Amino acid sequence: MGILSPVFAAAVLTPSRPSSSQQQDVLSYEAGQRLYLDPRAGNVSAALAQNYVKPTVSRAASQRNDDAEAEARALARAVNAPKYDPAELSRRYGGQPLQVTRRTLNILLELGSFAADLYLDKQRGELERNKRVRAIQLRQKLTKLGPTFVKIGQGLSTRPDLCPPEYLEELAELQDALPTFPDAEAFSWIESELGARLEDVYSSITPSPVAAASLGQVYKAVLRSTGEVVAVKVQRPGIAQAIGLDFFLLRNVCQLIDKYVDVVTTNVVALLDEFASRVYQELNYVQEGFNAKKFMELYGDRVDVKVPSICWDYTSVKVLTMEWIDGTKLSEQKVIESQGLNVLKMVDIGIQCSLRQLLEYGYFHADPHPGNLLATPEGKLAFIDFGMMSDTPPQARFAIIGHVVHMVNRDYEAMARDYYALDFLSPDVDVSPIVPALKSFFDDVLDATVSELNFKTIVDGLGAVLYQYPFDVPPYYALILRSLTVLEGLALYTDPNFKVLAAAYPYFAKRLLTDPNPYLRDALVELLFKDGSFRWQRLENLLVQGRKSSDFVAKDALQPVLQLMLGEEGAELRRLVEKEAVRVLEALVIGSTVEGYKSLPEPLKFIVNRGNNGRVIALKEHEEAQMLKLRQQVLRVWGLLRTSSGFDPAMLQPVVEILRLPEAQSMGAHVATGLTKRLAARLLQQLLKPATPLPA
């Protein structure tokens, strides 16, 4: 049975009176699982019926009104949810020097003792032998230090490039195997939040949590009203105070870094504030429910992605009831493979979905650690925790795609200009000094093919460049890096040679070929045209990669380019395309002639090529080779389009309609004229001066 990700929510809690429901009988099912059951039969209590309607799990149109009403009631219960307020934290803890000092010393003592033990191991030559012991020790210390440090451990647990296997295995337990708080207290909070007795809400609930993590714990239950199996997430008592104090301390440290550490040019306080605000969003389970709903609406259409539904009538700030999903954490490779599933395929689903999150709608899951991603028995990837979400600004979505294109194209001046759109630099900063630094780093990195590029290598190297110049990395970008590095870390755990950019590049290629956004169209033109010449090899590579994307459609790769070319600002592009069209048609005509000649019997070849230096057309050897190469490239590109998934000649009808526009007809006339002139010149060469090439 899979384990649901632990709760990520908390609030300032007050003690509550013990509930009589905690004294209910404990029965044993045939399977041996102990469940709390209501020993009485009957309908939902009057109190429950008065305040809540029956939860609507189905999303059928006839029940949408009920869903909306249930959501409204849940939203009303969240009006006093806590929010991150640095000024309030400063007022609260600024006047408590003893508490602040005690916590600071506690952190220094725990981490300092671990560092001292590592130092002694190194001095004694026992680092390797004591790895497991130290890994357990670190996990225990992070757990002891509380939720803030548990989250740090969760991040490290997905980074095999930073931590040895022993540490990865131990830190992975921080995802959902943390100490629990008393069940009686949890059940009391459920009753208090939902305003009903436990047995009136759930016909059964596990007597102990099935998962526990930094901010709360999860129970498996069955709704009495519908019989649906659900996950019930309950926040950990006192968690808000602990998180608030830690963020107060960390913010003070970040302020010192911003003020005195010149090598760090990024606004560290802003990064911390962004992270803290996301964590505080996790304190509100109603907000998490709406996050899940939005996530489902945007990405739930993928057949390989699963998103749980929310039971709104049984959800509040401190309690979340949602659909139960059976699955296995992505870090449990052997279990997944025993089910006939492939871990790398599941990670690739996560990467493709994440790219769509980051670069299409901009709404993305900012905490995709293994405890939040499950492989279902049906081969779907389930996202099950929606406490930490973030947004990519619209301008940045296209700038990121363009940035990757410019990187692959080694256009470092364009890369430097991208930092304006990415909000890394203010418009008044001169980027010209940055270009040599980018060239110095990326020339070495790009000697590898795209399929060999490691995301972490690029991030680390780019980070070294950023530190040298007045960059200000925006908070959303830090969360994007975290999201992608976590996914790459999951893949590296399975395959040390996995490259996330290789898995992501088909998506970038598809977007470039099919997206009508002006920014991306300009990036595509920059990629395909250089010094007035069309680079067919680039187009072929984009098509090869783009076809790997499951939703690539050939006709979409044609219309946006034509529309751009025939638009008001397409005069220069039309000139380039006309020139290239003449060259291509000439190569097709002459290349086909040459290929036809080669298929003739030898006696006929002798008659045809007599007086032409052994060639059917007066071309020098290198010129003939270039034409044949161009013809082969064009035919390969057409073959890629023609054999793309779902290709149908009828799909080209919209393209034909575009070609009927006056601008297109004018282009056609220019191309026909140019081709006629070229072929006429070839004919004259054939008759008057064999083997003399045309001027370029």
Task: Please tell me the distance from the alpha carbon of residue 384 to that of residue 371, in angstroms, as a whole number.
Answer: 9
Active site residue 367: yes
pLDDT of amino acid 667: 66
498 has pLDDT over 70: yes
Task: Please tell me the distance from the alpha carbon of residue 694 to that of residue 265, in angstroms, as a whole number.
Answer: 57
Which position among 367, 385, 418, 556 bears the catalytic label? 367
Task: Please tell me the distance from the alpha carbon of residue 443 to that of residue 448, in angstroms, as a whole number.
Answer: 9
3 has pLDDT over 50: no
For the stretch 391-441, pLDDT in tens is: 888 888 888 888 887 887 788 888 888 888 888 888 888 888 888 888 888
Top pLDDT among 362 and 518 is at: 362
Q: Strand 381-383 vs strand 533-534: parallel, antiparallel, or unpaired?
A: unpaired
Mean pLDDT, the chain, whole residue set = 76
**For 456-461, what is the mean pLDDT?**
65
List C-alpha distances in Å: 538 to 224, 578, 637.
Answer: 60, 19, 10
218 phi and psi angles, rounded to 5 deg = -125, 135
Task: Please tell me the distance from the alpha carbon of residue 408 to that of residue 431, in angstroms, as a whole number.
Answer: 19
326 has pLDDT over 80: yes
Task: Please tell me the distance from the alpha carbon of residue 285 to that of residue 487, in angstroms, as a whole number.
Answer: 25
- Out of 352-361, 403-412, 551-560, which region has the weakest mean confidence (pLDDT)? 551-560
- Classify burial at 523, counting beta carbons within 10 Å of its beta carbon; exposed 0-12, middle 13-18, buried 19 or more: buried
Task: Please tell me the distance from the alpha carbon of residue 281 to that of residue 533, in angstroms, as a whole number.
Answer: 52
Which of 63-77, 164-178, 201-215, 390-404 has maximum average pLDDT?
Answer: 201-215
pLDDT of amino acid 26: 30
**Confidence band (pLDDT; 50, 70, 90) for 27?**
very low
For the stretch 357-394, pLDDT in tens is: 888 888 988 777 777 889 999 999 999 889 888 888 88
pLDDT of amino acid 606: 55
Top pLDDT among 342 and 536 is at: 342
678-687: long-range pairs with CB below 8 Å, 24+: 678/582, 678/586, 679/586, 679/589, 682/586, 682/590, 682/617, 682/618, 685/618, 686/612, 686/617, 686/618
Top pLDDT among 462 and 502 is at: 502
Six token digits for residue 351: 């990467």
Task: Please tell me the distance from the alpha carbon of residue 624 to that of residue 50, in angstroms, as a whole number.
Answer: 86
Q: Strand 328-329 vs strand 229-235: parallel, antiparallel, or unpaired?
A: unpaired
Task: Please tell me the distance from the alpha carbon of residue 486 to that of residue 616, in angstroms, as a whole number.
Answer: 60
Top pLDDT among 533 and 384 is at: 384
- Classify burial at 78, counting beta carbons within 10 Å of its beta carbon; exposed 0-12, middle 13-18, buried 19 or more: middle
Task: Please tell me the distance from the alpha carbon of residue 7 to that of residue 695, in angstroms, as a whole number.
Answer: 72
Listed residue (487, 383, 491, 374) closest to 3, CA to CA: 374
Locate all alpha helices (DSSP H) within 27-130, ordered by sequence. 46-51, 64-76, 86-94, 97-124
**For 495-521, what is the mean pLDDT?**
81
Which of 22-26, 120-124, 584-588, 618-622 has maximum average pLDDT?
Answer: 120-124
- Residue with the two structure tokens 């294109």: 405
**For 336-345, what is the mean pLDDT?**
90
**For 172-178, what is the mean pLDDT?**
71
- Residue with the two structure tokens 């007086």: 611
Top pLDDT among 70 and 2 is at: 70
The terminus-to-terminus CA distance of the chain in angstroms comes to 70
What is the pTM assigned to this prediction?
0.69
For the stretch 266-321, pLDDT in tens is: 788 887 888 788 788 888 999 999 999 999 999 988 899 999 999 999 999 999 99
Listed residue (98, 181, 178, 183) closest to 145, CA to CA: 178
**Confidence band (pLDDT; 50, 70, 90) for 24?**
very low
For the stretch 46-65, pLDDT in tens is: 333 344 344 444 445 556 67
